[in-house]
Amino acid sequence: MSSVLTVRGGVPLAGRLEVRGAKNLVPKAMVAALLGSEPSYLRNVPEIKDVDVVTNLLKLHGVDVAKEPETGDLRLDPVNAKTASTADIDAHAGDSRIPILFCGPLIHSIGEAFIPDLGGCKIGDRPIDFHLDVLRQFGAVVEKRHAGIHISAPKGLKGAKLSLPYPSVGATEQVLLTAVRAEGNTELRGAATEPEIIDLIAVLQKMGALITVQTDRTIRIEGVSELSGYTHRALPDRIEAASWASAALVTRGDIYVKGAKQTDMMTFLNTYKKVGGAFDISDDGIRFYHPGGKLSPLVLETDVHPGFMTDWQQPLVVALTQAEGVSIVHETVYENRFGFTDALVRMGANIQVHRECLGSGQCRFGQRNFLHSAVISGPAQLSGTEIDIPDLRGGFSHLIAALAATGTSTVTGIDIINRGYERFTQKLEALGADFDITSR
């Protein structure tokens, strides 16, 4: 049975909600617990699907994962870590991309890892070549097997001099989780430095790791033979916070997001203000609202941190359909992240996607066949329609378009949204959205 959301649009979303630990940090901090010689404690853990997937994978590998019923805080005890059957791993990996980050920690704790073919949102090819390249340079032996890869390190993992062709978030995390207990020193050039990565480094430092981040995207790690456990409160989810901020703008609403953190969202806040959104920052969160009047178009490029996040792009594009004039958005992180605009066009938005790099310099996808620049002309009246959610962020943007549209929309595939938005239907209810959920 799957759930169907019937949304009656046109109601400004107003009220309060809370964002908890970041989807792009929490599962990785859980994997890091495998590196310790004693239990770790993780706080501010959201109820999202990636947390369930990693919990199951850790349990299969002998890690005792216990949840505080009231708070959802986790205790992760790796002392009995063991090999798991490849069939079980495959069955529990779901459509998450996190399993690839088990490589280093599993080799350190049990000598080998099996990584099933990965899932995740269909927003580009999403290869794992950077991951496998760095693992090989640490001395790992990677064998392709049916439905996945087997990785071992008969001669142990040794520190290496590494350089990434692009500042990949996942590959940087792969290096961190492998190098901290490898023999000797590791130098990583071209590293990603997203706040979620810095929070993972904070977790590893609490465990006893020695990691230095330089200003030029170089990270240095001095390997140690043993790590302890950690106690850590996950940083809040800045993607979810920005998604609700865009929802406030699109529906001409007013949303207080408890947990939203200014220092992790500075680039987003600048853009939000330029479009015509308003915000008030307080100690424990940020109020985002439409101050009245017209929204302004802009030229925007997504980029790695400290640039405008690719995951902030989709909900903001919905706001740009309501701005007076022509906006250009150049997606430079993923080659195929504008598929979600088809549904917006069916709802009445004026959006064309192009193969050229528009609005600024050339990116890796220029002169290739990728529709990675969007031209959005507004304002457009959106009308309700039938929508099948394609991916996490695109799906959220469809949802807020439906909430702003005139008439009724029928939205299927909403389980995908649970991957990154904790209890989103409860939050929508608290914000006064007019919708029903039925099962089909």
Q: Nearer to ligand EPU by C-beta: 125 or 283?
A: 125
The answer to the question of residue 334 lying near ligand EPU (CB under 6 A) is yes
Q: For residues 403 and 247, is the Cβ–Cβ distance under 8 A?
A: yes
Question: Closest separation between CB of residue 49 and ligand EPU, Å?
Answer: 12
**Residue among 20, 49, 131, 427 that touches ligand EPU (CB under 6 A):** 131
Q: Determine how β-strand 408-412 pairs with β-strand 386-388.
A: parallel
Q: For residues 61 and 34, is the Cβ–Cβ distance under 8 A?
A: yes
Question: Closest separation between CB of residue 125 and ligand EPU, Å?
Answer: 6
Choose the stretch contacting ligand EPU; rule: CB under 6 A; options: 169-177, 251-259, 399-407, 426-434. Answer: 169-177
**Residue among 30, 191, 300, 333 that touches ligand EPU (CB under 6 A):** 333
Cross-sheet strand order for the sheet of 408-412: 386-388, 408-412, 3-8, 434-439
Q: Which among 35, 142, 54, 124 has a CA at the least distance from the CA of 96?
A: 54
**Residue among 26, 115, 171, 328 that touches ligand EPU (CB under 6 A):** 171
Rounded (10°) CA dihedral 264, 417, 95, 167: -20
Structure tokens at 30: 């859980």
Mask for 212-251, x = binds ligand EPU (CB under 6 A) = ---------------------------x------------
The answer to the question of residue 371 lying near ligand EPU (CB under 6 A) is no
Q: How far apart are CA 227 and CA 397, in angstroms?
A: 41
Mask for 76-95, x = binds ligand EPU (CB under 6 A) = --------------------
Rg of the chain over all Cα atoms, to the nearest angstrom: 22
Count CB-CB contacts under 10 A for residue 432. Answer: 13
Q: Which among 130, 142, 81 has a CA at the least distance from the CA of 108?
A: 81
Q: How far apart are CA 257 and CA 134, in angstroms?
A: 38
**Residue among 119, 124, 208, 348 that touches ligand EPU (CB under 6 A):** 124
The answer to the question of residue 127 lying near ligand EPU (CB under 6 A) is yes
Question: Closest separation between CB of residue 327 and ligand EPU, Å?
Answer: 21
The residue count for the chain: 440
Selecting among 103, 121, 357, 363, the annotated active-site residue is 121
The answer to the question of residue 195 lying near ligand EPU (CB under 6 A) is no
Catalytic residue list contains 121 = yes
Point out which residues pair with 388 in neighbouring strands: 412
27 in helix, strand or coil? helix
**Residue among 77, 199, 311, 422 that touches ligand EPU (CB under 6 A):** 311
**Interface positions with ligand EPU (CB under 6 A):** 23-24, 97, 121, 124-131, 166, 168-171, 192, 239, 310-311, 333-334, 392-393, 420
Active site residues: 121
